[in-house]
Amino acid sequence: MRRLALVSCALAGLACSRHDLVDYAMTSAHRPSASTLVLPGGALVLAGDLHCHVAPPDDPGDVTRGLDRTIELARKEKLDFVVFTPHVGARFYLDADARGFVADGQRALRKSIDAAKSEGLVLIPGFEYTDHQYGHVGASFADLDAVLADVPLEAKADPARFFERWVARGGLLSIHHPFVTPLPGSSFAMAKVDLSWRPFTQKGPFPAEIDAITRLAHGLEVFNLTATHLRDRYLLGDGEASLRASFAGLDAEVRKQRRRLAAFGGTDSHEDHLRASTFVVAAARTRLAIREGLELGRTCVRDALACSFSAQAEGGPVARVGDALEGVTQLSLSVEGEDAEVFVDGKAYPKASVVTVPPTCTVLRARSGKGWSSPIYANCGL
């Protein structure tokens, strides 16, 4: 009934709300196929969303969906986990009132999650650190109260400390929509907003906390459903523009920073839709196992089959997504799927290829259908 109402509203040219129009547009968004991927050792491939808004704590004027409806949609879309990312303001941890407001919201969210009848669906509280000048960051898995106890108000002289303590206490950081730059000629106001991570798209210097996030982040949100489906497909006419730009940026940052950077995905849904956007290889369907898989970069985005990507030197062990190889000069790369390819520092090869690897840090990835993998790293000194 809701979908019929949205279609009628759009076709009749009625005064549909922004949320109604987004929901209508999202009915045609890619829906991942059921995973038939079997991995060695009985590892699971879990489907989830790392960037999902929910009201409360989000403003109900900005987010139309509460926790119960989110759980209902997640089950319908066959998700295994959801990370909730309500907006919080920049440097909230340096203001007493803002700290209290955000902490209260997170406590209420955790309480609601604990009381929810999720029946096997893993629900993970977090937030989206929203700095309109420098970019947005997803934060999850750490306990905010414990982190704030480590960061007293007197720490204003060291604003990076909050993110350092977040990671030290087991938290994960994901840089959201890092290459979603403005489209100045668009007739849509939101498309003109710069949502990119400015250290990747502009010249510095940048504040200490922004530099800290860049060096501490566990991954980049290379797939943002809202950006890919609305901005790229409808406004640019290229449904993979953000994906290509984000993966090129991820490759460059891996080589620059010489550390793991995973590919993450999120719906960024403020409305009545969800999709599986991140797939993580995990030992179990638990919060701890999901966190471990994300931290190790054992992920693919948009569809699951890309998680089958592997690399092997002659006579050596099989490396899988997230693994690192050292001292290799030639590798056999492969990925499952009829429409598939592998990448060496962004250059595409057939899905089963033997490639020469330079002695310098090299980023190996794969695409299978609509899905894209996190890297395997060669000669990066990890």
Domains of the chain: 1-30 (no CATH), 33-302 (3.20.20.140), 307-378 (2.60.40)
Among 105-114, 199-208, 225-234, 262-271, which is the least confidently predicted range? 225-234
- At residue 364, the pLDDT reads 98
| Mean pLDDT of all residues belonging to the chain | 92
Measured distance CA(356)–CA(329) in Å, rounded? 6
Q: Residue 235 above 90 pLDDT? A: no
Measured distance CA(210)–CA(201) in Å, rounded? 13
Q: Residue 4 above 60 pLDDT? A: no
- At residue 79, the pLDDT reads 96
Q: 58 burial class (0-12, 13-18, 19+ CB within 10 angstroms)?
A: buried
Query: For 262-287, what is the mean pLDDT?
Result: 95
Q: Residue 1 above 50 pLDDT? A: no
Both structure tokens of 71? 């759980």
Q: Residue 2 above 60 pLDDT? A: no
- The pTM for the full model equals 0.93
| Residue 239 CB-half CA count within 13 A | 8
Query: For 132-155, what is the mean pLDDT?
Result: 94
- Check residues 15 and 134 and name the one with the higher pLDDT: 134
- At residue 15, the pLDDT reads 55
In the chain, the largest separation of any two C-alpha atoms, in whole Å, equals 65
- At residue 356, the pLDDT reads 95
Among 23-27, 95-99, 110-114, 167-171, which is the least confidently predicted range? 23-27
331 close to 378: Cβ distance less than 8 angstroms: yes
Model confidence at 5, pLDDT cuts 50, 70, 90, reads very low
Query: For 103-111, what is the mean pLDDT?
Result: 97
Q: pLDDT per residue over 20-57, tens digit each? A: 888 888 888 889 987 777 788 889 999 999 999 999 99
Model confidence at 156, pLDDT cuts 50, 70, 90, reads confident
DSSP state of 227: I
- At residue 340, the pLDDT reads 97
Model confidence at 155, pLDDT cuts 50, 70, 90, reads low
Beta-bridge partner residues of 280? 46, 299
179 close to 242: Cβ distance less than 8 angstroms: yes
- At residue 93, the pLDDT reads 95
Query: For 245-262, what is the mean pLDDT?
Result: 96
Measured distance CA(11)–CA(140) in Å, rounded? 40
